[in-house]
Amino acid sequence: MMQIENDETLDILCNDELKIIQKKDGYRFSIDAILLSNFITLKKHERLLDIGTGCGIIPVYMSKKGNQNFMTGIEIQEELFQAAQKNKYLNNCENVQFIHGDIILHVENLRKTPFHVIVSNPPYTKECTGRKSPKYSRFIARYESYIDLSKLLSASSVLLNKKGRFYIIYPSKRLGELIYTAKANKLEPKRLRLIYPKREMGANLFLAEFIKEGGMEVTIEKPLYIYDNEQYTKEIESYYYLKG
């Protein structure tokens, strides 16, 4: 039986189908990871890499949804990596593996077998801006201290097959910066979906798909609304049902 430490919590989601161990005081995944997971297109036999996997929520969730593709998550923080390892075994995700380390230092080894799909729910805040989190684990996950947008996109471009796809969730105020930096790394925007907390509010996040050395045509998808009358919208609710 999986040991739950005193400084950890066990969260049971998706009608008891998904079990996630996390540190009580460390970085904890948010709905952003669930939104991003449901935006990804993953074809049969495609290999996926999750950069900054945290507790492993994206590959574990996708595996539990029925994706049997080989998926790898890499995480720089030791305590999050250990949580990801536990979550892999707790959820019987034999098609998922996790690597502990800095993606920049692993590029040369990983590029030997390029990926078809790369996904990242990266730090949103530039270093030295915004309110600092008092918890180190949360600080690393939220601020671009170890990897900024340019380094993330550069590494992703190197590790993708030609015509491989890159997926990201990011703040709407940084959309222009993301597209500019992605194009500089041969990643062309293909799909874009704006995320709104409520219908009467402006977009605060967006989901984006890029294709390595792709064409210039972009599809703007319908808006994604999170709440309707203080409850999740039907689409968001559907994300928490893993079967049927």
- Whether the pLDDT of residue 1 is over 70: the answer is no
Instruction: Quote the CA–CA distance of 162 and 160 in Å, as a whole number.
Output: 6
User: Of the candidates 30, 16, 7, 146, which has an alpha carbon nearest to the alpha carbon of residue 79?
Assistant: 7
pLDDT at site 54: 95
User: Of the candidates 56, 119, 63, 48, which has an alpha carbon nearest to the alpha carbon of residue 86?
Assistant: 56
User: What does the pLDDT look like over 172-186, one tens digit per residue?
Assistant: 999 999 999 999 999
Band of pLDDT at residue 4, cut at 50, 70 and 90: confident
- Whether the pLDDT of residue 18 is over 80: the answer is yes
- Whether the pLDDT of residue 219 is over 60: the answer is yes
Band of pLDDT at residue 118, cut at 50, 70 and 90: very high
- Whether the pLDDT of residue 116 is over 90: the answer is yes
User: What does the pLDDT look like over 127-169, one tens digit per residue?
Assistant: 655 555 555 555 444 544 568 999 999 999 999 999 999 999 9
Higher pLDDT among residues 6 and 53, named by residue: 53
